[in-house]
Amino acid sequence: MSLPEALQELVDDFSGVGPKDRLQLLLELSQELPELPERYADAAETMEQVHECQSPLFLAVEVEPAGDQLVHLFFSAPPEAPTTRGFAAIMHIGLDGQPAQTVLEVPDAFYTALGLGQAVSPLRLRGMAAMLARIKNQVRRAVAGQQSPA
């Protein structure tokens, strides 16, 4: 499985500790989720909701139009939803600033390598899978919209 370096480091961090410590690591990461820029202040109207998440989670993807088409991710999740925020932080740390093609090549089930199946419910893991699917869909739409007609 080929992952961007930052995402691989997170996978290594998680797989290097036991199940209880994985949950603690996830909760610590939840505190690292960056605040939203002002342009996304009204998340419900300006961002896409990930309905599969058990807590309200909204995301937005921006893709730079030139060069490697770097991806920038923005997430909104309530502070009282640390698991959801932790999943979003993993996506942000692992994928933000990566080229669009690199993001699109991340295996859909990469999150299984985090070993969180013993720490959180399958329903929560489906939320993480849905986050990645929505990120990829937004990246595809952005890249397609940037390509000039032949």
pTM (two decimals): 0.92
pLDDT at 136: 97
Task: Indicate the residue type of 124.
Answer: R
Place of tokens 């209880």: 20
The range of the structural domain enclosing residue 65 comes to: 5-145
Q: Which of 75, 73, 70, 74 is nearest to 100 (CA)?
A: 70
What mean pLDDT do residues 74-102 have? Answer: 95
pLDDT at 68: 87
Integer Cα distance of 135 and 19 in angstroms: 27
Torsion of CA 95, 98, 100, 104, to 10 degrees: -40
Is residue 42 included in any domain, yes or no?
yes
Is residue 36 included in any domain, yes or no?
yes
Integer Cα distance of 132 and 130 in angstroms: 5
| Dihedral sign of CA atoms 98, 43, 142, 88 in order | positive
How does the average pLDDT of the chain come out, rounded? 91
What mean pLDDT do residues 54-64 have? Answer: 94
Q: Give yes or no for residue 148 having a pLDDT over 60.
A: no
Q: What is the DSSP letter of 37?
A: P
Is residue 38 included in any domain, yes or no?
yes
pLDDT at 96: 97
pLDDT at 1: 65
pLDDT at 117: 83
Which CATH number is 62's domain given?
Answer: 3.90.1010.10
Is 33 exposed, middle or buried (CB count within 10 Å of its CB: 0-12, 13-18, 19+)?
Answer: buried
Q: Give yes or no for residue 124 having a pLDDT over 90.
A: no
Q: Check: CB of residue 127 under 8 Å from CB of residue 75.
A: no
pLDDT tens readout for residues 26-49 = 999 999 999 999 999 887 788 999
Q: Give yes or no for residue 121 having a pLDDT over 90.
A: no
The count of structural domains within the chain is 1
Is residue 150 included in any domain, yes or no?
no
Q: Which of 125, 131, 26 is nearest to 75 (CA)?
A: 131
